[in-house]
Amino acid sequence: MSYDVVVIGSGPGGYVCAIKAAQLGLKTAVVEKRATFGGTCLNVGCIPSKALLHASEVFAHTMHGLDELGVEVAAPKLNLEKMLAHKDATVKSNVDGVQFLFKKNKIDTFHGTGKVLGEGKVAVTDEKGDQSIIQTKNVVIATGSDVAGIPGLDIDIDEKVIVSSTGAIALEKVPEKMVVVGGGVIGLELGSVWSRLGAKVTVVEFLDKILGPMDGDVSKQFQRMLAKQGIEFQLSAKVTGVEKTDKGAKVTYEPVAGGDATVLDADVVLVATGRKPFTEGLGLHEAGVVLDDRGRVEIGNHFQTSVQGVYAIGDVVKGPMLAHKAEDEGVALAEMLAGQAGHVNYDVIPSVVYTQPEVASVGKTEEELKAAGIAYKAGKFPFTANGRARAMLATDGFVKVLADKETDKVLGVHIVGLGAGEMIHEAAVLMEFGGSSEDLGRTCHAHPTMSEAVKEAALATFFKPIHM
Ligand code: NAI
């Protein structure tokens, strides 16, 4: 068995890299230790969580949002088993889709744990312990990430009472009380799911804001919206203990500034305090592949590790832990391995939180621009002034455009609102082409659409909005 490229890991980074490499004529194989392809994202992450986010949103909307539109229905009844079955069916169709694409592109697959044996060799150990050796010109490490837990705390994540995102998408009943440790993306998305289905959710967050890296304006308004939906927040609070009890679990936290500890009882605790690169069992140390001080595979330009012919992409290397960043790296690397020029523009990687409303952002935040000493101007437009939003009773939120003060080049766009995750892409395309807020503001937008708020925020950046 001899290949041009062997990819270890079939998540969005790995499977996209393999498909692109095969499309470019490279003989390609994928090594995967899970029974199904698609990695964390398709099996237990992005895809199943979106199935539950959609279904729980429909449930909550039917419960609270139809009356004002003149649609009278009896109170909806939750069939959690069916909702979970919808999630499982969604996962199955997606992971089967990857298998189909592997076949279509003539990519060989090996089920088992891959180990890098230095330049040109990968060992695969299957479930029975049998080992095979694959020869390859290039190895791509795309092994993703795993739950980080809370540094210094030994937490028994049993995925029933104390859960990570994996357990939180498979709870067999709606908890009465749920404590979420960490007000980041996972905590807010999955906290929202169970809150909509009836759980009393409390989020305990170390920082003084939720969604730490997001624009401060966005994070503040978004927190108010989630609080209106019934989610409680304890900010500037450091969790110092998560333990099981006879009745469920308890979470202990202290004010970050110092002070007395508080104990919260819960039926379920979701630990969502970040993820760490997954490098276990890969034999990287023996192979001479160097990790950085945060346990990530160190790469230079062109995703090259410290060992010739061994590359790494996605969550296992530096940069945001996002499926689409991994995919773009996979494509760029495959192009480079095929002798073409591959490129990822790290300044234009959108980020979306799939709550209701959604939060979406691309480029720099105001805080980042201030810290970098870049002179900028900001334009903001609220959905309360958008006709389509009013018609849909979706006036929560706003669009904010940040542009260079001198050149007017758009440096960042931040949206909170219904469909923000779709709207953000016009900003991403504009930024990819180095566009200005005037370019965006002079681009004809269909009326009536939510996207007109993006145009108006751009108008507000270089001159004045029309509808405000
Ligand atoms: P995160 O890094 O987004 O948030 C973790 C939060 O936990 C931080 O705000 C941190 O301050 C807090 N924290 C840490 N230790 C704490 C303690 N002892 N007490 C209280 N709070 C504490 O991590 P998260 O939400 O687990 O997500 C992991 C990764 O997965 C992220 O990189 C995220 O971007 C990615 N992801 C992205 C999604 C999306 O794009 N929609 C969806 C889900 C995950």
Domain boundaries, the chain: 2-147+276-337, 162-273, 351-462
353 Cβ inside 6 Å of ligand 1: yes
Ligand 1 atom at minimum distance from 165 CA: 26
Phi/psi at 252 (5° precision): -105, 135
Closest of 459, 441, 399 to residue 424, by C-alpha: 399
2-147+276-337 CATH:
3.50.50.60
- Is 351-462 assigned to CATH 3.40.50.970? no
Residue 241 Cα distances to 30, 204, 209, 275, angstroms: 40, 12, 21, 19
Ligand 1 atom at minimum distance from 204 CA: 20
Separation CA 49–CA 55 (nearest Å): 10
pLDDT given at position 299:
98
pLDDT given at position 408:
98
The overall pTM is greater than 0.95:
yes
Q: Which amino acid is at 198?
A: G
Query: Largest alpha-carbon pair distance within the chain?
Result: 69
Give the DSSP per-residue string, 46-59: HHHHHHHHHHHHHH
CB 134 within 8 A of CB 124: yes
- Does the fold of domain 351-462 match that of domain 162-273? no
- Beta strand 162-163 pairing with 268-271: parallel
Separation CA 123–CA 143 (nearest Å): 15
Separation CA 11–CA 38 (nearest Å): 4
Q: Kindly provide the residue ranges of all beta strands, DSSP E only, lying in 308-464, ordered along the sequence.
A: 310-312, 351-353, 358-363, 376-382, 398-404, 410-417
360 Cβ inside 6 Å of ligand 1: no
Separation CA 30–CA 22 (nearest Å): 11
Q: Counting beta carbons within 10 angstroms of the beta carbon of residue 53, is it exposed (0 to 12), middle (13 to 18) or buried (19 or more)? A: buried
Pocket perturbation via mutation, ligand 1, pick of 185, 327, 362 by most ligand atoms within 8 A of CB: 185
CB 217 within 8 A of CB 366: yes
Ligand 1 atom at minimum distance from 186 CA: 25
Separation CA 221–CA 380 (nearest Å): 13
The DSSP letter of residue 75 is P
What is the C-alpha radius of gyration for the chain, rounded to an integer number of angstroms?
23
Separation CA 5–CA 389 (nearest Å): 49
Residue 30 Cα distances to 130, 365, 439, angstroms: 17, 38, 43
Residue 308 DSSP SS3: coil
Residue for token pair 């330009």: 301
Separation CA 369–CA 355 (nearest Å): 26
342 Cβ inside 6 Å of ligand 1: no
Pocket perturbation via mutation, ligand 1, pick of 154, 186, 252 by most ligand atoms within 8 A of CB: 186
Give the DSSP per-residue string, 84-102: HHHHHHHHHHHHHHHHHHH
Q: Which residues are catalytically annotated?
A: 447
Q: Which amino acid is at 242?
A: V
Residue 44 DSSP SS3: helix
Give the DSSP per-residue string, 119-178: TTEEEEE-TTS-EEEEEEEEEEE---EEE---TT------SSSEE-HHHHT--SS--SEE
Number of C-alpha atoms within 13 angstroms, CB side, residue 41?
Answer: 23
Separation CA 30–CA 94 (nearest Å): 17
Separation CA 382–CA 365 (nearest Å): 18
Q: Kindly give the distance from the C-alpha atom of residue 353 to the centroid of ligand 1, in angstroms, as a whole number.
A: 11
Question: What architecture does CATH give domain 162-273?
Answer: 3-Layer(bba) Sandwich (3.50)
CB 377 within 8 A of CB 461: yes
Show pLDDT as tens, one digit a residue, over the chain (468 residues).
Answer: 799 999 999 999 999 999 999 999 999 999 999 999 999 999 999 999 999 999 999 999 999 999 999 999 999 999 999 999 999 999 999 999 999 999 999 999 999 999 999 889 999 999 999 999 999 999 999 999 999 999 899 999 999 999 999 999 999 999 999 999 999 999 999 999 999 999 999 999 999 999 999 999 999 999 999 999 999 999 999 999 999 999 999 999 999 999 999 999 999 999 999 999 999 999 999 999 999 999 999 999 899 999 999 999 999 999 999 999 999 999 999 999 999 999 999 999 999 999 999 999 999 999 999 999 999 999 999 999 999 999 999 999 999 999 999 999 999 999 999 999 999 999 999 999 999 999 999 999 999 999 999 999 999 999 999 999
CB 437 within 8 A of CB 379: yes
Residue 367 Cα distances to 185, 209, 215, 439, angstroms: 19, 13, 7, 24
183 Cβ inside 6 Å of ligand 1: yes
Sign of the alpha-carbon dihedral angle for 177, 352, 322, 127: positive
Six-digit token string for 57: 């949103």
282 Cβ inside 6 Å of ligand 1: no
212 Cβ inside 6 Å of ligand 1: yes
